């Protein structure tokens, strides 16, 4: 088998490339290991797709070395490709995706990544895009847009940017215009909501357990919509929502709508934005579908 480590040189605080190269040297599989450095956003997807097309029939494992964005790019390039497995060396700021499998520590042993057995991984498909973790919109997308704007100005994200994003969302994004249908059922007939998460994984935003019942191989999308609420109540529900308790609490049943579905349809005004595994996408009408077993995911034991 060929092992290709796709490294985002801008992810994490350490020199990930040097770390990977040193870890690979003593492995019995060292001769079959290569490191590729991404050159720009989207490059990982293009590289993985091109490699698969140019090496049909070759058994290959792509290991995404970076944050959730790098993982999304590599997994998107490998989706539904034969003889391919994927894994990751998570070294981003949030590392949301791997939390569904026990957390980042489990994936930081390079030798274990190479030997790891595979299991099916469902993917979310949004038009011609793929998501392995979460598609979300409403309050938290406003926060994400603000963080991205700060990052564009300063070259990096920080806690101040997050705080600024939350303040802006509290002022402008408590009642958002969009309608969500899950397998044909309209979840918010009035066309308003605080937020909605359409999930394959469990976590979003670095710490929020938005989909506590999610399984990444059950062929189902976890849909959670929260109706508009006051800022005071928002403060009260923030901790239970962060901890993933919102689906079971009696004092939140009046505001939480939860479904499992195969297809989710969203309609919103022109200029609407949603977050796809952390990437901001502007689209007013879109459909999210589940593709069971779209990838073989290598998870260290």
Bridge-based pairing of strands 33-37 and 2-7 is: parallel
What is the pLDDT, as a whole number, of residue 194?
97
Q: Residue 213: pLDDT above 80?
A: yes
Beta-bridged to residue 192, according to DSSP, are: 177
Cα 271 to chain centroid distance, Å, stands at 22
Question: Does one domain contain both 194 and 151?
Answer: yes
Question: Does one domain contain both 50 and 168?
Answer: no
Domain membership flag for residue 57 = yes
Under a CB-based contact definition with an 8 Å cutoff, are residues 101 and 46 in contact?
no
Domain membership flag for residue 203 = yes
Average pLDDT for 100-116: 95
Domain membership flag for residue 261 = yes
First and final C-alpha spacing in the chain: 19
Question: Does one domain contain both 148 and 94?
Answer: no
Look up the CATH number of the domain holding residue 55.
Answer: 3.40.50.10330
Question: Does one domain contain both 154 and 272?
Answer: yes
Under a CB-based contact definition with an 8 Å cutoff, are residues 297 and 158 in contact?
no
Question: Does one domain contain both 99 and 161?
Answer: no
Torsion sign across C-alpha atoms 148, 150, 156, 159: negative
Q: What is the pTM of this model?
A: 0.92
Question: Does one domain contain both 178 and 207?
Answer: yes
Pick 149 or 220 by higher pLDDT. Answer: 220
Q: Long-range contacts for 150-157 (Cβ within 8 Å, ≥24 apart)?
A: 157/93
**Confidence class for position 163, pLDDT limits 50, 70, 90:** confident
Domain membership flag for residue 125 = no
Question: Does one domain contain both 248 and 182?
Answer: yes
Question: Does one domain contain both 57 and 178?
Answer: no
Look up the CATH number of the domain holding residue 280.
Answer: 2.60.200.40
Domain membership flag for residue 123 = no
Question: Does one domain contain both 204 and 88?
Answer: no
Question: Does one domain contain both 77 and 175?
Answer: no
Average pLDDT for 266-272: 97
Final residue of a structural domain among 70, 89, 116: 116
Which residue segment(s) compose the domain that 61 sits in? 2-116
Alpha carbon distance 193, 264 (integer Å): 15
Under a CB-based contact definition with an 8 Å cutoff, are residues 200 and 133 in contact?
yes
Question: Does one domain contain both 143 and 270?
Answer: yes
Domain membership flag for residue 296 = no
Question: Does one domain contain both 155 and 269?
Answer: yes
Final residue of a structural domain among 58, 87, 116: 116
Domain membership flag for residue 121 = no
Q: Residue 158: pLDDT above 60?
A: no
Final residue of a structural domain among 116, 142, 166: 116
What is the pLDDT, as a whole number, of residue 153?
76
Instruction: Residue 264: name the closest of 154, 194, 197, 180 by CA.
Output: 180
What is the pLDDT of the chain when averaged over all its residues? 94
Q: Residue 12: pLDDT above 90?
A: no
- H helices within the chain, ranges in order? 16-24, 43-54, 68-78, 110-115, 139-154, 159-172, 231-242
> What's the structural domain count of the chain?
2
Q: What percent of the chain shows pLDDT beyond 70?
A: 97
**Confidence class for position 155, pLDDT limits 50, 70, 90:** low
Average pLDDT for 160-179: 88
Under a CB-based contact definition with an 8 Å cutoff, are residues 51 and 20 in contact?
no
Q: What is the dihedral of CA 232, 140, 294, 185, to 10 degrees?
A: 60
H or E, element range at 128: none
DSSP letter assigned to residue 208? B
Domain membership flag for residue 278 = yes
């Amino acid at each position: 088998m060929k092992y290709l480590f796709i490294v985002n040189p801008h992810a994490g605080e350490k020199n990930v490339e040097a770390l990977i190269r040193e870890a690979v040297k003593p492995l019995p599989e060292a001769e079959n290991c290569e490191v590729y450095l991404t050159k720009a956003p989207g490059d990982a997807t293009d590289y993985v797709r091109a490699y698969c097309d140019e090496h049909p029939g070759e058994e290959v494992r792509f290991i995404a070395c970076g944050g959730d964005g790098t993982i999304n790019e590599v997994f998107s390039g490998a989706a539904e490709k034969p003889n391919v497995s994927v894994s990751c060396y998570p070294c981003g700021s949030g590392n949301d995706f791997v939390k569904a499998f026990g957390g980042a520590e489990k994936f930081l042993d390079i030798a274990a990544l190479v030997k790891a057995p595979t299991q099916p991984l469902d993917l979310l498909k949004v038009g011609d895009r793929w998501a392995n973790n979460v598609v979300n919109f409403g309050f938290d997308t406003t926060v994400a847009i603000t963080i991205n704007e700060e990052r564009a100005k300063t070259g990096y994200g920080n806690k101040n940017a997050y705080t600024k994003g939350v303040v802006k969302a509290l002022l402008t994004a408590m009642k958002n215009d969009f309608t969500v249908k899950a397998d044909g059922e309209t979840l918010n007939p009035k066309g308003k909501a605080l937020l909605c998460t359409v999930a394959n994984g469990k976590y979003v935003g670095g710490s929020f357990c938005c989909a506590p019942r999610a399984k990444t191989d059950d062929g189902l999308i976890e849909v959670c919509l929260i109706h508009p609420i006051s800022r005071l109540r928002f403060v009260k529900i923030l901790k239970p929502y962060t901890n993933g308790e919102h689906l079971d609490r009696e004092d939140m049943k009046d505001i939480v709508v939860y479904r499992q579905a195969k297809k989710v349809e969203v309609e919103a005004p022109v200029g609407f934005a949603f977050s796809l595994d952390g990437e901001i996408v502007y689209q007013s009408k879109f459909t999210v579908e589940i593709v069971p077993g779209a990838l073989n995911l290598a998870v260290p034991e």
